[in-house]
Structure 1
């Protein structure tokens, strides 16, 4: 009865998809099937290669070839831009083989899949945060690997992206004269993303916002910190002119959160 039902369902499927035939591969040695997958990869027949690797995983689930096949599936999907599929395969690999020599690479594939999906700065940055979390996982768990080195570089790019998003919102608030909102955004850049290229402008914008609120001590401090750390910056020159227009000069207030943020980082 079950056999007949299976045949019936198979027949119905063929009625709707006459061009696609499911290939059933015979049970052959795992190494042979794995090598077939590699050959198909070299020929850039990625769909068939994945089928071979899946076949290894299905028919020889506890073999080393199955473990390698899982990783190849994750790699091919990543290489072809199928990021969610790559993430799924790599996570499955880590669940089954967390202590293997290739675990670092599997984690790196997950991080890179998120990283390659980082959206334009004008859009929601949830994927950027996911990329950062996954990249930090690579650095934390596998610090002595080549993947950690690459992850650190990608982390800087991701941080720059998030800092850029904060700057964009902060500038908007400045234009709307929502100075408190602007300060909060620039504060995020100064405290969380101070190694990015946006920190100089953030300090200048803080000078602008505090001056607009009449809080001259903080305006002078942000200008002073900017000048101390980036003396040749065009942003510092503008900040100096700005505070000077009120008859004062950049002056560090060591009790300011700005001074403390940079002092703790060894940048001021």
Structure 2
């Protein structure tokens, strides 16, 4: 319903205010009970506090780490003072308070509302970034469906595209790289499974996608080595040699090239100009982790190390914004 239709809608204004007041009280009571706040029913039933009091209470609760109460204060402000100048900040800070409670859908709802009503705000970059981080926080382990990772990556890339000079763009780019590495890890997981099941053509498709679509990730050397293995199993010795050459050129010191080199040598497929692996700091170990017959689902790489956001960073940001 638009603002104009709301103003023209024929209702009893006093009844609407009373209903909003009681709804606000119910919200605060339920959340205050969870957070251990000392407000009483009489304090809340007497009146809805002035708009500036609600806003300041929300900020104070946020600083005191009473995030549920903080979100409730900002929600009550929006319900009772929808045309106040405080509303924009209340939406943004409510999103942050929900984020700190790991209530990401509620946080995204607040941030979407803020961005819809204030698309040109100086704080839009912060809102887009916090919204993207809400998706990023929900990135699932590599064994699970990765639609959430794609959504997080898209939201982070929107921050980079819209605000390339903002203080959030660099951190967003780092997280995009982690998302891409996560997606590549999923492809490798499925590819290894197909390879174990001798579904070689399906395995090749997965490994080739890693090489072609995720070239900057850490999974490319393994994908190339796996391709060497699969091509040899398929009897495609020329493709195996060419893939090993790509591996040696780009990752000459990688353990994965040492594996490919040893495999080709064991099958007497090394050519005279095949370079030997560079000597690394450690010895190449057997690939027992993936060759012991166990399900590859139990050997998936862990999620990115930064799946949990740096909350201290956000604390500094909102203090500088507000």
**For structure 1, which segment, 52-61 or 136-145, has the greater mean C-alpha deviation from structure 2 after superposition?**
52-61
User: Whole-Å Cα distance in 2 between the matches of residues 77 and 41 of structure 1?
Assistant: 10
Give per-residue Cα distances to partners, 1:152-204, cap 9 Å, x unaligned.
11111111111111111101111111110000001111111121111110000
1:200 corresponding residue in structure 2: 221
Does 1:157 pair with 2:178?
yes
Please state how far the C-alpha of 1:27 moved relative to its aligned partner: 5.7
What's the TM-score once normalised by structure 1's chain length?
0.82
2:79 corresponding residue in structure 1: 58
| SS of residue paired to 1:146 | coil
Contact 1:125 1:162 in 2 (8 A): yes
Give per-residue Cα distances to partners, 1:91-120, cap 9 Å, x unaligned.
111111111111111111121111111111
| SS of residue paired to 2:168 | helix
Alignment of 1:74-223 (within 5 A): 74-223=95-244
Contact 2:68 2:98 in 1 (8 A): no
User: Whole-Å Cα distance in 2 between the matches of residues 159 and 123 of structure 1?
Assistant: 15
Question: Using a 3 Å threshold, how does the CA distance of structure 1 residues 67 and 25 change in structure 2: closer, same or farther?
Answer: farther
Count the aligned residue pairs: 242
| SS of residue paired to 2:198 | coil
What's the TM-score once normalised by structure 2's chain length?
0.69
Contact 2:188 2:206 in 1 (8 A): yes
Contact 2:191 2:204 in 1 (8 A): yes
Could you list the runs of 5+ residues in structure 1 that have no partner in the other structure?
Answer: 253-268
Question: Using a 3 Å threshold, how does the CA distance of structure 1 residues 35 and 208 change in structure 2: closer, same or farther?
Answer: same
**For structure 1, which segment, 46-55 or 71-80, has the greater mean C-alpha deviation from structure 2 after superposition?**
46-55
Please state how far the C-alpha of 1:206 moved relative to its aligned partner: 0.6
Give per-residue Cα distances to partners, 1:222-247, cap 9 Å, x unaligned.
11111111110111011112223333
Contact 1:70 1:93 in 2 (8 A): yes
Does 1:73 pair with 2:119?
no
Question: Using a 3 Å threshold, how does the CA distance of structure 1 residues 24 and 231 change in structure 2: closer, same or farther?
Answer: farther
Does 1:31 pair with 2:45?
no
Question: Using a 3 Å threshold, how does the CA distance of structure 1 residues 89 and 245 change in structure 2: closer, same or farther?
Answer: same
Contact 1:25 1:55 in 2 (8 A): no
Please state how far the C-alpha of 1:25 moved relative to its aligned partner: 7.6
User: Whole-Å Cα distance in 2 between the matches of residues 199 and 176 of structure 1?
Assistant: 21
Could you list the runs of 5+ residues in structure 2 that have no partner in the other structure?
Answer: 1-11, 34-40, 275-322
Please state how far the C-alpha of 1:80 moved relative to its aligned partner: 0.8
RMSD (Å), alpha carbons: 2.7
Please state how far the C-alpha of 1:31 moved relative to its aligned partner: 3.0
User: Whole-Å Cα distance in 2 between the matches of residues 94 and 190 of structure 1?
Assistant: 37
